[in-house]
Amino acid sequence: MAWSTKPHGSAKQTWQVGDAVNVGFLKGLEVVKKIPTPGDYAPDAYALWQPGTDRFYRFVPHKGIARCFNLAEACAA
């Protein structure tokens, strides 16, 4: 079985501060802060807020999402 050599398309969501995004089954998350990770070759992290439940999350693409108690924890390294 061969791997596809067709390049994937652009991302369907924008990840700028203030944008609404969906991550898996979590819908309507607002990007609060982009947390750059220079030097470690890992993707940038994002602090997310779900207005309907007032919950905060930290999301790292290809690594996963974690629920946090507050914005400070979501922004911490």
Q: DSSP labels for 30-51?
A: EEEEEE--TTS-PPPEEEEEET
With CA atoms as reference, report the closest residue to 17 among 37, 40, 34, 42.
Answer: 34
pTM higher than 0.75, yes or no? yes
| CB-based contact 30:16 (threshold 8 Å) | no
> Tell me, what amino acid is at 2?
A
pLDDT of 1 above 60 = no
Name the residue with higher pLDDT: 15 or 6.
Answer: 15
pLDDT of res. 26: 95
Scan for tokens 């946090």, then name that residue.
Answer: 68
pLDDT of res. 2: 61
Q: What is the pLDDT of residues 20-62, one digit of tens each?
A: 999 999 999 999 999 998 888 889 999 999 999 999 999 999 8
pLDDT of res. 9: 72
